[in-house]
Amino acid sequence: MTTPAAVSKLNTNLFIDGQWVPARSGATFDVVNPATEEVLAVVADGAAADATAALDAAVAVQAEWAATAPRERGEILRRAFELITERTDEIASIMTAEMGKPLAEAKGEVAYGAEFFRWFSEEAVRISGDQLLAPDGKTRYFVQRQPVGPCVLVTPWNFPLAMGTRKIGPAVAAGCTMVFKPAELTPLTSLALVEILAEAGLPDGVLNVVNTTDPGDVVTAWMTDPRARKVSFTGSTPVGKQLLKQAADNVMRTSMELGGNAPFLVFDDADLDVAIGGAMAAKMRNMGEACVAANRIYVQSGVAEEFSNRLAEKMRALTVGDGATEGVGVGPLIEQKALDKVVQLVDDAVERGAEVKVGGDRPEGDGFFYNPTVLSNVSSESDLMSTEIFGPVAAVVPFDTEEEAIALANATPFGLAGYLFTTDLNRAFRVSDAMEVGMVGLNTGIVSNPAAPFGGIKQSGLGREGGSEGIDEFLEVKLIAMPQP
């Protein structure tokens, strides 16, 4: 294996108060390339004492940072956007090596991730307020918005750049300082990002990074410290619930982007070319390792067989392999545990009567690979109907009526994204309105964009990231009342 030059150049220590420092315990951990199972880098392994030092640094500069001019904060983000964009190839090579996604997708994520900085560089100078006169005419009210204070940011491994920039961008724009714990499976992209932010002029202490193999220890140190005023988390619903319980003790602000179980509805009046393209995007982006991935594909009976066959044809054409190799369309899953889960979910569906149209197995050799798979006539009792698959497996289930499709779509405690394919405009709005999700892809398999509010309802989360809503999550409303002269 050749380690990408960009990985070898990284400083892999903790980043606290503008300094690269080893963990106080001296501990380190290995980062593994999921395509080769070889060690890619050795990273400082922080613990509670490092976490507290990081929060000390964030707290110390909060007031000064909040007082910087919005334009200055915006320009730091803008410079960071430009540096990320200039270094697309380097960052993509780090991301592919630690996370597995094919290089072309990694470059796509670099563009997506960088755009959060450009978007929030523009939002930084648009933090507005309001003023009003009381109904009795006696008091004037000024409504201002201020940074919420030091924030705890916790990000997942599946989008190692974009999930960080989606939180750091609005926090910087709002004037908040941060303590940041990237996922332990993919810490390297975040280290590259920190270097860029420092180079772009982010003052010492504003962003502090603690990588760790013991997230409970590090994050609990922050969550139980009343100086931390907000937590923004992307990850699983069970962990989100624990953080919400911890947040309650100090009444912290929370943003939670949690698990999904996205329904993907194809009606018999849909343009099947569009629906197949949408399914490929919603299922295969990131090898299916996205919270917004199509998890349950419901297709109206008249077109279900044709849809499954055509989807299988597209999936069969994909090349599986190390994402660093030219022409590879499907990289490995993140780790052995993730692969075992996918194997188990497919086996369970097949035992319950699903037909394997393509795939259903893994290639020989090293790496956590699973072949692109289409299962048709999947029983609604199958475990993958109620579990986020997080793998390249499309589970197709036929339905008969619109009412049935809506009921199936909503029969889950989750409500992140949902997809709908139809050429009937009335049905498009009727079903979009009825779907219990935060985001609907209407004749498209991609809903995400830095300019659009991303987030879920039900057990998929609280709050929104991106859009004009994204910065509100990092701002408090302050009311100033004065007698009307």
Does position 292 interact with ligand SIN (CB under 6 A)? The reply is yes
Does position 119 interact with ligand SIN (CB under 6 A)? The reply is no
What phi, psi does 42 have (nearest 5°)? Answer: -120, 125
The correct pick among 291, 312, 328, 339 for binding ligand SIN (CB under 6 A) is: 291
Read off the amino acid at residue 65: W
Site for ligand SIN in 451-480 (CB under 6 A): 454
Nearer to ligand SIN by Cβ, of 16 and 287: the residue is 287
Nearer to ligand SIN by Cβ, of 46 and 445: the residue is 445
Does position 99 interact with ligand SIN (CB under 6 A)? The reply is no
Read off the amino acid at residue 50: D
Site for ligand SIN in 31-70 (CB under 6 A): none
Straight-line distance from the first to the last Cα atom of the chain, in angstroms, rounded to the nearest whole number: 75
Task: Tell me the number of residues near ligand SIN by CB under 6 A.
Answer: 8
Minimum Å gap between C-beta 456 and ligand SIN is 9
Does position 7 interact with ligand SIN (CB under 6 A)? The reply is no
Q: Which stretch binds ligand SIN (CB under 6 A): 285-293, 354-362, 424-432, 436-444?
A: 285-293
The correct pick among 15, 29, 159, 419 for binding ligand SIN (CB under 6 A) is: 159
d(CA 169, CA 158): 18
Residue 313: active-site member: no
Does position 218 interact with ligand SIN (CB under 6 A)? The reply is no
> Per-residue x/- mask for ligand SIN, residues 177 to 206, rule CB under 6 A?
------------------------------
Q: Which stretch binds ligand SIN (CB under 6 A): 21-29, 88-96, 287-295, 402-410?
A: 287-295
What phi, psi does 75 have (nearest 5°)? Answer: -70, -30
Does position 448 interact with ligand SIN (CB under 6 A)? The reply is yes
Minimum Å gap between C-beta 36 and ligand SIN is 24
Q: Which stretch binds ligand SIN (CB under 6 A): 154-162, 201-209, 317-325, 350-358?
A: 154-162
Minimum Å gap between C-beta 234 and ligand SIN is 7
d(CA 19, CA 208): 9
Instruction: List the catalytic residue out of 98, 105, 109, 257.
Output: 257
Does position 371 interact with ligand SIN (CB under 6 A)? The reply is no
The correct pick among 62, 121, 158, 308 for binding ligand SIN (CB under 6 A) is: 158
Tokens of 405: 């499709």
Q: Which stretch binds ligand SIN (CB under 6 A): 3-11, 27-35, 263-271, 289-297?
A: 289-297
Q: Please list the active-site residues.
A: 257
Contacting positions for ligand SIN (CB under 6 A)? 158-159, 162, 290-292, 448, 454
